[in-house]
Amino acid sequence: MAGRVGRRLGLAGALLALAVAATPAAAQDKPRYGGELIFAVPSEMPSYDGHREGTFGMVHPLAPHYNTLLRSDPNDRSGTKIVPDLAESWTASSDGRVYTLKLRRGVRFHDGSEMTSKDVKASYDKIVFPPPNVGSQRKGQYTNVEAIEAPDAATIVFRLKWPQASFLTSLASPYNWIYKADILAKDIRWYETNVMGTGPFLFVEHVKGSHWVGKKNPGYWDKGKPYLDGYRAIFMKDSASQVAAVRAERAHIQFRGFAPAERDTLVGALGKKITVQESPWDCAAWVAINQDKKPFDDKRVRRAMTLALDRYQASQALSKIAVVKEVAGVQVPGTPYATPPNELEKLAGYWRDIKKSRAEAKRLLKEAGVPEGFAFTFMNRGLPMPYEPVGIWLIDQWRQVGLNATMQTIEASQHVTELRNGNFTVSSDAQCGYSVEPDLDLAKFQSRDISHSNYGRYTDRVLDDLYQKQSRTLDPEERKRYVREFERRLLDEEAHTFITLQWHRIVPYNAKVRGWTVTPSHYLNQQLDAIWLAE
Amino acid sequence: MAIQRAATSDIPDVSARRRWLTEIGDFCRRRPLGAIGAAVVAINILVGAGAELIAPYDPLATDYGAMLAAPSAAHWLGTDAFGRDVLSRIVYGSRTAMLVGFACAFFGATIGAVIGVTSAYFGGRVDLLIQRVNDIFLAFPLIILALAVVAILGTGITNVIMAITIPMIPRAALVARSSALAIRELPYVDAARAAGFRHRRIILRHMLPNVMAPYLIMLTAYLGQAILAEASLTFLGLGVSEPTAAWGLMLRGAAVQFAEAAPWMAIFPGLAISLAVFAFNLFGDSLRDALDPRLKTQ
Amino acid sequence: MIKYIVKRLLLMVPTLLGVAVLIFFLMRVVPGDIVELRFMGDSAFASKDNLDKERARLGLDRPLWQQFVTWMTGIIRFDFGTSMWTGAPIIEEIKLRAALSFQLAVMATFIAVVLAIPLGVVAALKQDTWVDYAVRIFSIAGLATPSFWLGIVFILMLLIVFKWLPPMVYTPFWVDPWQNMLQLIWPALAVGYRYSAVATRMTRSAMLEVLREDYIRTARAKGLWQKLILSRHALKNAMLPVLTVVALEFAFLMGGLVVTEQVFNLNGLGMLFVESVARRDYTLTQALVMLVAFVFIFVNFAVDLMYAWLDPRIRFR
């Protein structure tokens, strides 16, 4: 880092450390009532139905209108601690196949009617067993649900066909909003164009392409909350505009996250007026390798491709210019099933000695009969951050073991189609989870007949078996072992596909905003019930 | 359509051939702005052609030890977010820009001219049909054409050239047609037809040379437009892909994020674009004035 | 005159039909699928029957010709249907954005004309002097500066120097003219500058042609201002090509300001265009293309009428 920029970045770094240090103290202040939270949203929802859609552009503006059965603890940075929301308590049978949840009483919908188990059952029936004309995006996550029962107004029971370690996390899914049964009975698609929940904020207006407004729900069941009078979500596609908005104090925050340079600009311009929270992101920059294409059917070639990458150097360099940072395995660092560093260093491509690693890569390529200067096309998703910098880095790394890749950038919408149809040799790929949970993060890497997003197009029954074992094992330690085994087979032994770096979530925001904790997923912790604005 | 008339008043018909060499000397003396433009254009072409000789570094070579370095003796215009030398990337970017500019302008103006002249020469139903098809493409939003071409064919220099050229064709055809309409009625074309020459020969030998002046004017005007269009498409992520050195690419992403901390990343490629387009326009304008016999009598 | 108008109106029909056919099939040739995009491909839980269900719901499983016929019969009844992405009526999607785009186009046009006509006239009167050169450099610089670049510079300048940012949300002019202007003046300036460059150049060359007319040349001895006065009637005719350029540029602005809208975060038709194509929202894209094509064709028609009215010979061509 040379000259002026170096100093500037250094200064920004120092301020950043200050800002981060200031956060915990600030969180202990007594909450203040009032004010309108203004946040930018980089995407906009197609419809209002959480069961149907997938974008965070729907979660951020709409989550404050609703509650879920359970939720991830709003103060837990790992996003993996499950706490009550509409369900007050729960019990699981010893075989892990029956979950019984007690519902909170006295919870009212925004229309004044009372929420009962009937509403929960209707909502979950819509998610798990949708009628023919209704789309349910994450239905596949609930294939083991046999029946949902409502024995009395305050009890809901889920009967499972087989045990699933992640079931409680599934009930805390940030999408599984509880809708009103009577409305669903009349028109099951009503929620695609209307809002009516039990959440801390009431719906005011939505101007397409422009903004979304919510105001305080005075009858909210959690007494004393929410603190805000209301909120206003502004749809802003361009990240430079979002940064400008926070900088000019026209918006308090953009929850999804900014690039490192944008953080430094904000901290440099506003100093202590900006708080920064960072977290490893439950998204990783993967590389998909089409095993239908030669010579990529040869695992020596694939191993060489991952061995060529100096992830530790990249972590330092790329984290200054892109939203990637952590060197990680298949789970977010800092969460229960993450790979410990000493185990990680044993995996191909994670060795500390890059010279040795690249020598091994060259040896493997030679052994596989891949000539020096072998050329292929790397298909990259047409989104600047972080795909473009990671792509530039990858091509540079591969060059160093004699692989000559050219980048072909494809419009983001088309990229999915090309991946699915296998019209590529090597491509960027992303795996983003809405909850940190091996079941969710690993599912796509199962064999092609099981996973529709297995872009490597391989079939590996050992891997499928390991997936199932880890998913159905209720003992956490045993489950960890299966996850590690799955990981070793996926990334090292077979090198079906590999991770470059974990994404890194950086949220610099106006220091007036209090009571919000960053988590590894930008889908979590968006109910805004605990957020307040300082003077 | 109305554009026809805009075109006729903008670009005059010229009926005599030019003696080019003496013209050039004359041009420099009478049109100093144009001469400056021409000089800058020539420099751009030379830099683009001799990029290997001029650029101090490999434009693709990353150096993670020198990321975002300010301009210095080692890197005259600084380095970008990957430690790549900005000057070298501008030099190689000039090649991309000239390639895109000339290819688009040449194919756009030429194909357009052939269509326009053919349409004017045959007249009647052929003319009517061609004009209707032309109308459809004119009315079609440019951005959609570009988006569609890129989406169907993918990004990359060749496809970007196509995306920019296709919308140029109907516009060039209109201009060429209106110039050709005037020539068509001239006695010697009639004579050629009466002498039984084949259509192709008449079009190629007699009509095309006579729309040379508007053709050249279009060519120079399109050069600048194409370079700008390439920069805009690339800015939107629809142009050439990284890590190719291209001016538009240098302006997006990190250049915007580091606009304050490392302004050289955005300023110099921005200047390169503006200067090139400026020069092409300056040259084109003066060329138009020079080729317009009516203005010349002033 | 009536006959001429009718003829011109009838000629619009095949053009619009051609545009409709072109966009309909073009969109379907472009790879990508709205259903896959919505039920995002990266998740392993996107089941195939879910996708098929949604396709059937959007009518994408029917033969192409049927889809085309349905769309065309809708258009004839001025019913553009609903957006495949949001499910809302297309009119509703377009309404607000069109208001913004229209206002921005009007403002940019105003700025352009106010700059271009005096500059162009002066440059022509003082041809080949330093005044002419200055005007030409100013206007060519306008053509040479990418407007998104200018936009970024504007925003950074406002932020860094004035620590201020234009309002982020569009307020219609009749609701709050001040807020409205605060937001739109900047993009209008950025766009208007380039636009004025086009118009200045046209004004200059049109004026030069007028000044060449014999009766003006004989008046040359009488001095510059008399020349200008003499040319006043002729100025009316000189303005015709300028009008053409201005009108066509206006038509372009109605859907072409993609990058400027992105930089200034404007909720206009340009961004809607890009987004609807990116989402493969066929119905919305088709409607937008038809709208923009119609504006273009209509503006042309209006300009032609003006010509015909001023110059009766055209009608009989």
Is the Cβ of B236 closer than 8 Å to some Cβ of chain A? no
Q: Give C256's pLDDT tier (boundaries 50, 70, 90).
A: confident
Q: What is the pLDDT of residue C257?
A: 84
Residue A216: predicted pLDDT: 96
Q: Which of B57, B241, B250 to mutate to test the interface with A (most CBs of A within 10 A)?
A: B241
Set of chain B residues whose Cβ sits within 8 Å of the Cβ of A396: 60, 62, 82, 243
Nearest CA in chain C to A209: C267
Strands A201-207 and A98-103: unpaired
Interface of A with B in 267-326 (CB under 8 A): 268, 313, 316-317, 320-321
Range with the largest mean pLDDT of A319-328, B73-82, B234-243, C73-82? A319-328
Q: Which one has a higher pLDDT value, A475 or B157?
A: A475
Contacts of C140 in chain B (CB under 8 A): 278, 281-282, 285
The predicted pLDDT at position C229 comes to 61
Average pLDDT, chain C: 83
Position A358 scores a pLDDT of 96
Surface of B (221-260) touching C: CB under 8 A:
224, 228, 231-232, 235-236, 251, 256, 259-260
pLDDT value for B15:
45
- According to the model, what pLDDT value does residue C217 have? 61
In A195-275, alpha helices (H) = 239-247, 260-270
pLDDT of residue B46: 92
Stronger pLDDT, A180 or C311, i.e. the higher one: A180
Is pLDDT of B90 > 60?
yes
- Indicate if the pLDDT at residue C206 is higher than 90: no
Q: What is the pLDDT of residue B11?
A: 42
Token pair, residue B222, equals 């399109």
Per-residue confidence (pLDDT) for residue A506, from 0 to 100: 96
- Taking the Cβ of residue B10 and every Cβ of chain C, the question of whether any pair is shorter than 8 Å is answered with yes
Confidence of residue C126 (pLDDT cuts 50, 70, 90): confident
Rounded to 5 degrees, what angle do the CA atoms A373, A374, A380 make? 110
Cβ within 8 Å, pair C15-B142: no
Question: Residue written as tokens 């040259």?
Answer: B283
User: Is residue C22 less than 8 Å (CB to CB) from chain B?
Assistant: yes
Q: Does the predicted model carry a pTM greater than 0.90?
A: no
Residues 53-92 of chain C whose Cβ lies under 8 A from any Cβ of chain B: none
User: Which chain C residues are Cβ-neighbours of B136 within 8 angstroms?
Assistant: 15, 18-19, 22
Contact residues on chain A for C265, CB-CB shorter than 8 A: 236-238, 241, 245
Looking at CA atoms only, how far is residue C254 from chain B in angstroms?
A: 10
Window 16-55 of B, Cβ < 8 Å to C: 33
| Distance (Å, whole) CA A64 – CA A220 | 11
Pairwise CB contact (< 8 Å): A453 & C96: no
Q: Is the pLDDT of residue B51 over 90?
A: no
Contacts with C, B 267-286, CB within 8 Å: 270, 273-278, 281-282, 285
List, for chain A, all residue ranges whose pLDDT scores fall below the cut of 50: 1-27
Higher-scoring residue by pLDDT: C72, C223: C72
What pLDDT sits at residue A12?
44
Distance between CA atoms of residues A187 and A131, nearest Å: 12
What's the pLDDT score for residue C232? 64
Pick from A276-285, A471-480, B174-183, C230-239: least confident: C230-239
Q: How many CB atoms lie within 10 A of CB A265?
A: 27
Q: Which of A247, A400, A411 should be substituted to probe chain B, the one whose Cβ sees the most B Cβ atoms within 10 Å?
A: A411
Please say whether the beta carbons of A74 and A520 come within 8 A: no
Q: Which residues in chain A are contacts of C97 at CB distance < 8 A?
A: 209
* Contact call for C144 and B251, based on CB within 8 A: no
C267 Cα to chain A: minimum distance (Å): 6
What one-character-per-residue DSSP string does A415-461 give? HHHHHHHT--SEEEEEEE-SS--HHHHHGGGS-TTT-TT-TT----H
Contact A391, A380 (CB under 8 A): yes
Q: How far is A430 from chain C (nearest CA, A)?
A: 7
Q: What is the DSSP code (8-state) at residue B73?
A: S
Nearest-neighbour CA in chain C from A354: distance (Å)? 31
Helix (H) or strand (E) holding B139: helix B124-139
**pLDDT band, very low/low/confident/very high, at C312 (cuts 50, 70, 90):** low
- Token couple for A387: 């795909």
Give residue B23's pLDDT band: very low, low, confident or very high (50, 70, 90).
low
Which ipTM value was assigned to this complex? 0.86
Which is more confidently placed, A381 or B5?
A381
- In terms of C-beta density within 10 A (0-12 exposed, 13-18 middle, 19 or more buried), how is residue A347 classed? buried
In the DSSP assignment, the letter for residue A38 is E
Of residues B9, B273, B274, nearest to C206 (C-beta): B9
- When scoring B60, B63, B64, B147 by the number of chain A Cβ atoms within 10 A, the one with the most, hence best to mutate, is B64
**What is the Cα–Cα distance from A123 to A184, expressed in whole angstroms?**
8
Contact status, residue C111 vs residue C194, Cβ threshold 8 Å: no
Question: What is the C-alpha to C-alpha distance for residues C276 and C283, in angstroms, rounded to an integer?
Answer: 9
Question: How many CB atoms lie under 10 A from the CB of residue C34?
Answer: 21
Average pLDDT of chain B? 81
Please say if the pLDDT value at position B136 is more than 50: yes
Residues of C in contact with A47 (CB under 8 A): 86-87
Which residues in chain B (251-270) have CB-CB distances under 8 A to chain A? 252-254, 256-258, 260-262
Residue B105 has which token pair?
A: 């302008």
pLDDT-based confidence at residue B59 (cuts at 50, 70, 90)? confident
Any idea which residue has 């495949």 for tokens? C84
Q: Which residues contact A305 (CB under 8 A, 6 or more apart)?
A: A287, A289, A361, A398, A403, A426, A495, A498
Residues of A in contact with B81 (CB under 8 A): 320-321, 389
How much is the average pLDDT of C18-43?
A: 82
Nearest-Cα distance to chain B for A266, in Å, is 11
pLDDT band at C259 (very low <50, low <70, confident <90, very high): confident
**Residue B298 banded pLDDT, cuts 50, 70, 90:** very low
Q: Which residues of C touch A133 (CB under 8 A)?
A: 53, 57
CB atoms A261 and B241 under 8 Å: no
- pLDDT band, very low/low/confident/very high, at C231 (cuts 50, 70, 90): low
CA of A9 vs chain C CAs: smallest distance (Å) = 18
Percent of residues, chain B, with pLDDT higher than 70: 90
Tokens 């399109």, located at residue: B222
Can you tell me the distance from the alpha carbon of B110 to that of B213, in angstroms, rounded to the nearest whole number? Answer: 13
- Nearest C-alpha of chain B: how many angstroms from A229? 34
When CB atoms are compared, the residue of A259, A317, A388 closest to B64 is A317
User: Across the interface, which of B9, B132, B281 has its CB nearest the CB of C18?
Assistant: B132
Give the number of residues written for chain B.
Answer: 298
**Residues whose CB is less than 8 angstroms from the CB of residue C110 and which lie 6 or more positions away in sequence, other chains included:** C192
Distance between CA atoms of residues B248 and A195, nearest Å: 43
In angstroms, what CA-CA distances link B209 with B16, B103, B107, B212, C55?
9, 21, 17, 5, 55
Selected residue with higher pLDDT from C126 and A360: A360
Instruction: Please report residues of C whose CB lies closer than 8 A to that of A414.
Output: 30-32
Does residue B27 register a pLDDT over 80?
no
The tokens describing A76, both together, are: 């837990």
Among residues A325, A330, A292, the alpha carbon closest in space to that of A502 is found at A325
Helix (H, G, I), strand (E, B) or coil at A375: strand
Contacts of C292 in chain B (CB under 8 A): 139, 141
Contact flag C152-B147 (C-beta cutoff 8 Å): no
> What confidence score (pLDDT) does residue B3 get?
38
Torsion sign (Cα): C144, C148, C151, C155:
negative
Highest mean pLDDT among A383-397, B198-212, C145-159: A383-397
Q: Which residues of A fall within a CB distance of 8 Å from B70?
A: 2-5
Interface test with A, best of C35, C51, C168, C175 (most A CBs within 10 A): C168
Are B67 and A317 inside 8 Å of each other by CB?
yes
Per-residue pLDDT, A73: 93
A128–chain C nearest CA distance, Å = 12
Which residue, among B41, B134, B143, B223, would best test binding to C if mutated, counting the most C CBs under 10 Å from its CB? B143
Say if the Cβ atoms of A265 and B253 lie within 8 Å: no
Contacts of C264 in chain A (CB under 8 A): 241
